[in-house]
Structure 1
Amino acid sequence: MTQVPSFAVVSGQQVAGVLHGREKQVVEVVEAAYRLHGEGRTVNPDSYFLRFPDRPSSRIIALPASVGAPVDVHGVKWISSFPENVAAGLPRASAVLILNDTATGYPMACLESSIISAARTAASAALAATTLAAARAVTPRRAGFVGTGLIARYVHTYLAAAGLSFDEVGVFDLDRGHAGGFAAYLGRAGAGPVRIHDDAASLIAASDLVVLATVAGEPHIHDPGLLAHNPLVLHVSLRDLSPEIILSSCNILDDVEHCMKAGTSPHLAEQRTGGRSFVDGTLYDVLEGRVAPPAGRPVVFSPFGLGVLDLAVARYVLDEVSASGDLMTVPGFFHELKRHG
């Protein structure tokens, strides 16, 4: 007989407890989800944006998705981005994620998801960095971070866990204080020599691995000559680079259709050219050996951020918390369970 699942709530503290120190496992979960997606065993509809006429910089986004076996889960991430939070000392993003039971469709868990979102973003970036570097046979020695918030911190953690170390790390942020805070964190994390740059251009010129993790709504890096030394660029924030830079680079995306919307840099390049011939492939293509990014051109990885990755990581977290015996269920959450009373 089909049973209604219990409904659980997983706190941010529990999420962090599961994910801390398990960066390699999370990268494996994310890679497996990318492979399922590449094999057509996921459903990842368009994201839905709730915007506010009186607060144009803020938005709340719904990312529905479904991941097939062996993950076997469905759900939606509901994530807000309110950049004004930063000035008040709060993280820009907050999120929850609902997982639905496969057999009944009933919601079975609500998880705090800002940590899950940051972890899957960082795991995706680390997977791309190691995969693309190996495909190019080039080991990055100088890293640079444009944007120094929570995502930058997570990306650095995951890059280090993936075995990447650097002779120097550069940081730049429009807020010098934020750059200084991130530089201090990097020092505590043993990142090696850290240099605070006065602008993004000097940082890019000094880096062969560039992490763009800003809240930019439109391109602010315009000159293709800045990438003449052929760096690997993890374009996490998606809207930093001009169409000219995109068109002069080797472009690897996580999902072509999803990246070509919402004013992303690849979307602007598509609008400029009327086509997608500048896209060289997806990360799945590189993982499968179908695409080999060259060492003699800049390589830009632009991940839209797929909901299937969030669901895969959330399922991992839920299973780990359940196995520990610490899963908090809500008795009586589902009440009307008889059709006729």
Structure 2
Amino acid sequence: MSDPTPTFAVISGAQVHEVLRDRDKHLLDLVEAAYRLHGSGDTVNPPSYFLRFPEDPSSRIIALPASVGGDIGVHGVKWISSFPANVQRGIPRASAVLILNDQETGYPIACMESSIISAVRTAASAALAADWLTRDRVRPTKVGFIGTGLIARYIHTYLAGTGWSFDEVGIFDLSPEHAAGFKGYVESTGDGDVVIHESAEDLIKACDLVVFATVAGEPHITDPTWFEHNPLVLHVSLRDLSPEVVLSGTNVVDDVEHCLKANTSVHLAEQAEGNREFLSGTLFDVMTGAVQLPADKPVFFSPFGLGVLDLAVGKFVYDEVGRAGDLAPVEDFFFDLHRYGKR
């Protein structure tokens, strides 16, 4: 009888990057498939768990446990930290690992660097939403980024890699240095004219697709009139918009229960209204035709970020590394597996 114990491997960030590089369209399709599995009930995605620190309230580490059925077939958890002060240290704000568990035995089969996986699933989710939420509207020609870190770069990459092109790319960041760095990156891609705006208001009013990718902990955009031109807003950072702004538009989320917590903008709107009737539905509802979007209001997409998406991308990485023969099991990782020990 063969040994039933799965092997355990560590997959580096370099390996993750190599697998995911230049596969934007495939990964967009993979994320859409995961959304459809989730919407049809073939996933388990319990609430995320926040580890916070009284001495450092702006930082946190989040656990996202999940399970995905269908052709993906894996359990696991992402453990992702957000320490904003890292930016001043010269390293990225977020770091993460993803643990995959075998669907049959529950044994962990891999630990992989996951900041790239997290950025990819976030960017693919945003690009997917931009596609579906504009199918019955005039396709945006001017995109603006408020916040210019890693997530903004990945979202721009995935928009460009899945067929989007823009006449103009707007940029606003509280750090002139970061805005200039992002401008140089966008210019290197050749994607339209690039404009650094002096304020978030100027950028929002000038763009018909607005991406929020900040580290804001509470709303700082409070005037609904800035959105009177009815843009599509990818509210990836979740806490930038005041309840008044949220309630002025059409609201789509990735998962209702996940988004309406942890003082996200839509959670604050729920508290202000006392109900959830301002939500039109989920991205899955839009994809299946259950929700129709009006053209005469701004559309706000607020994705809390589902662990099932991380698992879908992570399992793809695991399978590809294994297919290439580059999966390196950790010898003797599992030990003392006999019920009564060996004599």
Provide the TM-score with structure 2 as the length reference: 0.98
CA distance in 1, matches of 2:211, 2:317: 26
* Equivalent position of 2:230 in the other structure: 230
Once the two structures are TM-superposed, the CA of residue 74 in structure 1 deviates from its matched residue by 0.2
The aligned runs of 1:1-341 (5 Å cut-off) are 3-134=4-135, 136-341=136-341
CA distance in 2, matches of 1:163, 1:207: 18
CA distance in 2, matches of 1:20, 1:189: 16
CA distance in 2, matches of 1:25, 1:329: 27
CA distance in 1, matches of 2:118, 2:293: 27
Q: How far does the alpha carbon of each residue in 1:304-333 deviate from its partner, in whole angstroms, 9 at most, with x for none?
A: 000000000000111011101111210111
Between the two proteins, the alignment pairs up a number of residues equal to 340
Once the two structures are TM-superposed, the CA of residue 88 in structure 1 deviates from its matched residue by 1.2
Residue aligned with 1:55, SS: coil
Contact 1:130/1:162 (<8 A) preserved: no
CA distance in 2, matches of 1:328, 1:159: 34
Once the two structures are TM-superposed, the CA of residue 291 in structure 1 deviates from its matched residue by 0.9
Q: How far does the alpha carbon of each residue in 1:17-49 deviate from its partner, in whole angstroms, 9 at most, with x for none?
A: 010100111111100000000001100000000
Contact 1:255/1:282 (<8 A) preserved: yes
Q: How far does the alpha carbon of each residue in 1:130-174 deviate from its partner, in whole angstroms, 9 at most, with x for none?
A: 11111x231100000000000000000000111111000000000
CA distance in 2, matches of 1:184, 1:24: 24
CA RMSD of aligned residues (A): 0.7
CA distance in 1, matches of 2:39, 2:7: 32
Once the two structures are TM-superposed, the CA of residue 70 in structure 1 deviates from its matched residue by 1.2
Once the two structures are TM-superposed, the CA of residue 69 in structure 1 deviates from its matched residue by 1.8
Q: How far does the alpha carbon of each residue in 1:41-68 deviate from its partner, in whole angstroms, 9 at most, with x for none?
A: 1000000000111101000000000001
CA distance in 2, matches of 1:188, 1:295: 34
CA distance in 1, matches of 2:271, 2:152: 29
Task: Give the aligned residue type for 2:244.
Answer: E
Q: How far does the alpha carbon of each residue in 1:101-144 deviate from its partner, in whole angstroms, 9 at most, with x for none?
A: 0111100000100000000000000000011111x231100000
Contact 1:142/1:208 (<8 A) preserved: yes
CA distance in 2, matches of 1:83, 1:52: 13
Q: Percent identity?
A: 66
CA distance in 2, matches of 1:121, 1:328: 28
Contact 1:233/1:298 (<8 A) preserved: yes
Residue aligned with 2:301, SS: strand
CA distance in 2, matches of 1:304, 1:337: 39
- Structure 2: gaps (5+ residues): none
Contact 1:9/1:328 (<8 A) preserved: yes
Task: Give the aligned residue type for 2:309.
Answer: L
Once the two structures are TM-superposed, the CA of residue 295 in structure 1 deviates from its matched residue by 1.6
CA distance in 1, matches of 2:33, 2:315: 13
